[in-house]
Structure 1
Amino acid sequence: MATVILLRHGRTTANASGVLAGRTPGVVLDETGREQVARAGERLASVPLVGVVSSPLERCRETAQAVLERQSGPTPLSIENGVNECDYGDWQDRSLADLAKEDLWSVVQNQPSAVTFPGGESMPAMQARAVAAVRENDAAFEAEHGSGAVWAAVSHGDIIKAVLADALGMHLDLFQRISVNPASVSIVHYSSARPTVVLMNTDAGDLSWLAAAAPTTDAAVGGGAGHATT
């Protein structure tokens, strides 16, 4: 199958003020966030992406645009509701400090599989639709461009954590052990055998090796030699 770069949007005005933005319209990158996504675009400039798939929210579309501006050739952008932010329902637009006082907060931290946000989405439903969207897009890019295709999905922290947990074979109740920072890059390669998590939560480092990476269905016994560096 193809290889997906999971890119979280850059820091937003809501992130900086400690508010759970959710799907609130009009939440955009702040100055720090714009700097972060510019650096992410630079990291990905050496990787010829066959496509970019973005959450419909402004902060992700801004991040996707920063990536597209650094690509050397035309790269299609599509909007994917499957990687939209979690529907936090009544929790949306509330401060994290206030939400931490709710009884549900400890369940979110320790047993996400049991959480349905009041007036919103359950966390298992969030994971299921996000994983399905990523895998369906990955299969489509592989079918069109071959198994060496690399594409990017621009999404949100909890969404990317849920996709990574699935790729790692982790139960959703363990997904809070994963960190996904603003504008961070994680990489998953799907194959007929299993997903392989190549990188997680990185904000620096050369990615040009992705352009020539040889996909394989087998794990390297003993760890292998790693990828070639430039």
Structure 2
Amino acid sequence: MPTLLLVRHGRSTANSAGILAGWTPGVELDETGHGQAGQLVERLAGVPLAQAVSSPLERCRQTLAPLLAARPELGEPTLDDRLGECHYGEWTGRPLAELAKEPLWRTVQDHASAAAFPGGESLRALSHRTVAAAREWDEKVAAEHGPDAVWIACTHGDVIKAIVADALGLHLDHFQRINVDPCTVTAIRYTPLRPFLLRMGDTGTVTGLGPRPAGHPTPEGDAPVGGSTGAAAA
């Protein structure tokens, strides 16, 4: 099955200001974020990409822009609202330091499956739509580009955490244990048996995520007993 590269957008003006941006229009990458987006080109230089998908929010499209400029064969990213940020409702645009004093904050931290943002959506709904999007896109990429394809999706921190929690079989209440920094790469390979988390929050050069070599000793969907031998020895 294909390999999904989940990229969180680079640092935004809201991130550096400590504001919960949500779907606020006009939130762009800050200077650091633009630098991170530029570095992504080199970090993914050795990885073939068959498809690019993005949250419609500007900070995600800006993050992918240098990479897609370097790979014109990919064209413009396909925008999918389901990979957009959580709808935080009345929390949108407020300082995180202020939100941390709200009673709901503890629910978000400790019992995420019960958390629903006033005037927005629940974290259960976020998980449902984002996991569905990731799995449906993976099937589409497999059908169009083959089982060894690699595709990229640029999205948001809570979105990636929800998708990773699903891939690991974690209850949503545990998804706050997962940390996703700006412009990190998380790689998931879905198989008929189970997903495999190949990278988590990677900040360096991403290698070894191309097609499995012919004659690979482990059947597709099985984990190597004793651990992987790594890309060089695969």
Class of the TM-score when normalised by the shorter of the 2 chains: over 0.9
Aligned length: 227
Which residue is 1:96 aligned to? 96
- Tell me the secondary structure at the aligned position of residue 69 of structure 1: helix
In the alignment, the residues of structure 2 paired with residue 192 and residue 82 of structure 1 have an alpha-carbon distance, to the nearest angstrom, of 23
Deviations 1:133-187 (A, max 9, x none): 0000000000111110000010000000000000000000001110000000000
In the alignment, the residues of structure 1 paired with residue 142 and residue 21 of structure 2 have an alpha-carbon distance, to the nearest angstrom, of 34
**Percent identity at matched positions?**
51
Which residue is 2:226 aligned to? 222
1:32 aligns with 2:45: no
In the alignment, the residues of structure 1 paired with residue 174 and residue 40 of structure 2 have an alpha-carbon distance, to the nearest angstrom, of 27
- Tell me the secondary structure at the aligned position of residue 223 of structure 1: coil
1:113 aligns with 2:113: yes
In the alignment, the residues of structure 1 paired with residue 61 and residue 80 of structure 2 have an alpha-carbon distance, to the nearest angstrom, of 11
Deviation at 1:68, TM superposition (A): 1.0
- Tell me the secondary structure at the aligned position of residue 74 of structure 1: helix
- Tell me the secondary structure at the aligned position of residue 53 of structure 1: strand
Which residue is 1:164 aligned to? 164
Deviation at 1:212, TM superposition (A): 4.0
- Tell me the secondary structure at the aligned position of residue 210 of structure 2: helix
Deviations 1:36-80 (A, max 9, x none): 111122111221210110000000001111221233x50142001
1:211 aligns with 2:215: no
Contact 2:49 2:149 in 1 (8 A): yes
- Tell me the secondary structure at the aligned position of residue 187 of structure 1: strand
- Tell me the secondary structure at the aligned position of residue 90 of structure 2: helix
- Tell me the secondary structure at the aligned position of residue 201 of structure 1: strand
- Tell me the secondary structure at the aligned position of residue 5 of structure 1: strand
In the alignment, the residues of structure 2 paired with residue 87 and residue 206 of structure 1 have an alpha-carbon distance, to the nearest angstrom, of 31
Contact 1:41 1:69 in 2 (8 A): no
Structure 2 segments unaligned to the other structure (5+ residues) = none
Contact 1:45 1:67 in 2 (8 A): no
Aligned CA-pair RMSD:
1.3
In the alignment, the residues of structure 2 paired with residue 228 and residue 128 of structure 1 have an alpha-carbon distance, to the nearest angstrom, of 37
- TM superposition score normalised by structure 1: 0.95
Q: Which amino acid aligns with 1:136?
A: E
Tell me whether 219-228 or 110-119 shows the greater mean CA deviation. Answer: 219-228
